[in-house]
Structure 1
Amino acid sequence: MASSSIWHSLPTEIKLTIVDSLPGQDLESFSKVDQRTYQVCVPAKFRIVKLATFQALQRFLDTVPPSYLSHIQDVSVTTEDEPTAPVISLRARTDAFISLLAATPRLSKLTFRMSGSLDKSIIAPFPYLRNLHKMSIVNCGDERESPLSERLVVSIAGSIPNLTELSLENISRSHLHASDLEGNPYIPVVHNDGDVPDHPKLGSELALPSLLRIPTLTKLAIRETHLGDERWINTPVACRLQVLDLGNYVHTDEDFNSACTQRIMSAVGPSVDEFSLSTAVSDDRLFAKPTETPLKSLRKLHISPFFPIDSVVDTVSNLAGSPIETLSLQCFEEDVVDLCSALEGFLSRRVERGPQFFDKLQRIDVTVAANPEVDSDPSDDGEDEERIAAAERLQNFCRDLRLASFVDKLPKVEGNPPIPIVAPFPKRATKARSNTI
């Protein structure tokens, strides 16, 4: 009783600080002490909310007091239904999301998983979300059956007053902006998005390149999306992108994806500090010369696990015009040996070309990504030893050149020492607590 009295006598600021320090399960238990304690825990309990289905969103809106929603800062929502859910009209589904967004003035991060487009009225609450800085929109449906229109997505993004980070995945081109794709049986286009109204600032030009006209944008990621719009070249760039992440589109070939990537790199390059690459860069005349390259500020280059390994040496070399300090590559476990060998080839080329070639390079890191298309059966000891030997050769080469290096997640083989780490690898961030329904 005495301890409870002491707790309730504490100033509110101290109570909130204590509550904020509690991990998820401890917070949940502590909130059940009494009603007064629960109220103190409300801001922390509802700071992060994850709603795994549309029906979870409905239950959340029906049961949570509206005043609690004002504490939400990070929300992940989806339009996907539970298996036995009844059919819901598009407008009713959209209204539920509008109700959530309209009640969250503190929202700073939004992850939106859609299965196709919502009604155009979903745009309405976004101009009022002044604290929203980070947004991710993913079409989790089949693009051919449930496409998500670029016009709707661009209008939403352009309506957010202070958007700085935007991630898009599996977005479909609109026939209004992609007449060249009409009749193409392999690339779906959206035909029913003409009712998306003109944007107050972007006007009727709601194609993906218009994202570059959002002045607050500093980080842009676009994956699994057709990037063949030539307007990327001549759209006025109002933002200063610092981080750019471009993925491949599965319905076009490597050469086309490469051309699209290089076009966008040329448009936004001067301010980009960090770039994630999924396709080869073949233009050595532009990107390899410090006096010509648009990527004059590029210091961190990331290469995805889907990147063609036989293009690693040439692509990295073709970006020699940039002051790259960190080169990080992801690969699948079965590609570790080939990737390490390719990086040795790049380092050999660096030695041959002399001190001016990648003179700012400080470290090379390799991390291993899980391959969803390959069974997770353990590899045999011979394969493990080969990977570890390849990693050690690469790291020894890096050490000789006074470069920091790290190779991640390789299995240990009895009798082999741990792979040396020349410089500490960043620790993984701990997961924040959240409300998941």
Structure 2
Amino acid sequence: MWSTLPTEMKLAIVEVLDSDDVKNLSQVNRDTYAACLPSAFKNVKLANLRALQSFVDNVPRSYCRYIHFLELCTENNVRASEPRSVTDTIISILAASPCIEELVLNTRGSLHHSIIPCFSHLSKLECLSIHNSGPEELKPLSERLVVAIAASVPNLKRLSLDRVSRSLMHAPELHGVPPYVPLVSGDDNIPDHPLLGTDLYLPSLLRLPTLRELVIRDTHLGDPRWASVPVNCKLQVVDLGSCFHENEGFNSVCIQRIMGAVGKTVDEFSLTTAVSDAVFAKPSVTPLQRLRKLHISPFFPVDSVVDTISNLAGSPIESLSMQCYADDVVDVCTALEDFLNMRVERGSGFYEKLARIDVTVTANDASSPLDPDEDAECKEAEQRLKELCRDLRLTSRFTLRLARSAGLVPTRLTSLSDGRVRSMTL
């Protein structure tokens, strides 16, 4: 009966199967194998350089046209590899994959700039994540390279960057002075970009007209050009992390500068540092005129929660979510209670659109479990906050989330596929 079905129906059936069932079904006969190819290669994850090379050597290049989600990692536990050879391997896959919609690049240091042109042919690529897994002091990933790559993607909407290093070419003032932020040298050979020219510094990302969501973590954001570069994009979601080389005050100033530049269109913002500028508290002058969803990361100083939330009162925030570690639950709940009591005292006009508060407790396998007394205290604090939210007619939710290797703060830059992920993992 299977053999009599039209190809379209076979493809529809295969589409709803999980990866193991697809693999088993593909072994029935040659025609069935061909029908399974689009699903088998829709999501491809290559966990290290060896898997990358194996994929290039053994998978027919024509199969790459089925890839919609691709995750690559250049980690190599065997021997050091030249950036050019690693880059050539990646290029050979990207050049044969015109249907990629989401790409995750986990690099150990930099790639050769010869990879930049191939991104201009990925017209369906909308979501790009680039993360440096190498030590920044020894294997930095240049801002010039990632900006040139991002600017080359024709329809880029969502961009996530992690541990990108400033270039000596664009940040000479940081060279040789405390806190000795790692800089990239020798990246002046990266060609000028047709849109950005030589201005391949991080703030130039704001010149990309298609960009709607921007995530930057563990990256130095001290470039003053964030405040002056022309903003050609209409960012809706922004998630900015701190630079661990700098102090809390410096990071706060940097993030507020970027908030001021992009705030007019932002609907959703994630914070890791305090906001002290009172301009954000005034509805008539705040740059964040459309901010409806505010996320606060587990790295945020709990002592600054109330002040920062108050300083963002000028925005029409409807949803407030906080992520914290288990041993901070009591303090976070107390801070949110203080904020809600302040909201009652100030009356109408102060967070009048607020409708829900969510708390996510982040845990990982390495963390020590709470003792019975601590656990009881957390549950009591959680219950108090829930009751207060209920009294104020606010929706509330508490959830537990395991920490992910890619970062602790939730982001909308996740896989485009649904819960039935079928991955070709090597």
TM-score normalised over the length of structure 1: 0.92
Determine helix, strand or coil for the equivalent of 1:124: helix
Aligned residues of 1:332 and 1:371 also touching (Cα < 8 A): no
* Pairwise CA distance, 1:371: 5.1
* Pairwise CA distance, 1:87: 4.1
* Pairwise CA distance, 1:409: 3.1
- Aligned pairs (5 A) from 1:95-174: 95-174=88-167
* Pairwise CA distance, 1:430: 2.6
Aligned residues of 2:327 and 2:370 also touching (Cα < 8 A): no
Pair 1:42-2:37 in alignment = yes
Residue type matched to 2:423 in 1?
Answer: S
* Pairwise CA distance, 1:333: 0.3
* Pairwise CA distance, 1:78: 1.4
Q: CA deviation digits over 1:164-199, x for unaligned, max 9?
A: 000000000001110110113520101110000110
- Aligned pairs (5 A) from 1:254-403: 254-284=248-278, 286-370=279-363, 375-403=366-394
Q: Which has the higher contact order (CA 8 A, sep 6+)?
A: 2
Question: Distance in 2 between the 1:37 and 1:79 partners?
Answer: 33
Q: Report the counterpart of residue 197 of structure 2 in structure 1.
A: 203
Q: Report the counterpart of residue 208 of structure 2 in structure 1.
A: 214
Residue type matched to 2:104 in 1?
Answer: T
Aligned residues of 1:364 and 1:404 also touching (Cα < 8 A): yes
Aligned residues of 2:18 and 2:420 also touching (Cα < 8 A): no
Q: CA deviation digits over 1:399-420, x for unaligned, max 9?
A: 111100112239xxxxxxxxxx
User: Structure 1 404/87 Cα, relative in aligned 2: closer, same or farther at 3 Å?
Assistant: closer
Q: Report the counterpart of residue 433 of structure 1 in structure 2.
A: 422
Residue type matched to 2:425 in 1?
Answer: T
Pick the aligned partner of 2:170 from 177, 191, 201. Answer: 177
> Which one has a bigger Cα radius of gyration?
1
Question: Distance in 2 between the 1:9 and 1:328 partners?
Answer: 53
Residue type matched to 2:213 in 1?
Answer: K
Question: Distance in 1 between the 2:14 and 2:113 partners?
Answer: 40
Question: Distance in 2 between the 1:87 and 1:16 partners?
Answer: 42
Question: Distance in 1 between the 2:325 and 2:160 partners?
Answer: 23
Q: Report the counterpart of residue 412 of structure 2 in structure 1.
A: none
Question: Distance in 2 between the 1:43 and 1:228 partners?
Answer: 44
Question: Distance in 1 between the 2:420 and 2:203 partners?
Answer: 34
The percentage of aligned residue pairs carrying the same residue is 56
Question: Distance in 2 between the 1:184 and 1:197 partners?
Answer: 29
Q: Report the counterpart of residue 245 of structure 2 in structure 1.
A: 251
Determine helix, strand or coil for the equivalent of 1:369: strand
Question: Distance in 2 between the 1:197 and 1:349 partners?
Answer: 54
* Pairwise CA distance, 1:431: 5.2
Q: Report the counterpart of residue 422 of structure 1 in structure 2.
A: none
Aligned residues of 2:156 and 2:211 also touching (Cα < 8 A): yes
Pair 1:15-2:10 in alignment = yes
Pick the aligned partner of 2:71 from 73, 76, 98. Answer: 76
Q: CA deviation digits over 1:189-210, x for unaligned, max 9?
A: 0111000011001010000000
Question: Distance in 2 between the 1:317 and 1:174 partners?
Answer: 36
Aligned residues of 1:19 and 1:27 also touching (Cα < 8 A): yes
Question: Distance in 1 between the 2:266 and 2:362 partners?
Answer: 25
Q: CA deviation digits over 1:8-46, x for unaligned, max 9?
A: 211111111100000111111111111211110000000
Determine helix, strand or coil for the equivalent of 1:296: coil
* Pairwise CA distance, 1:381: 1.6
Q: CA deviation digits over 1:339-375, x for unaligned, max 9?
A: 0000000001101100110000000000011257xx4
Question: Paired residues, what number?
Answer: 409
Question: Distance in 1 between the 2:80 and 2:197 partners?
Answer: 35
Question: Distance in 2 between the 1:88 and 1:402 partners?
Answer: 59
* Pairwise CA distance, 1:382: 1.2
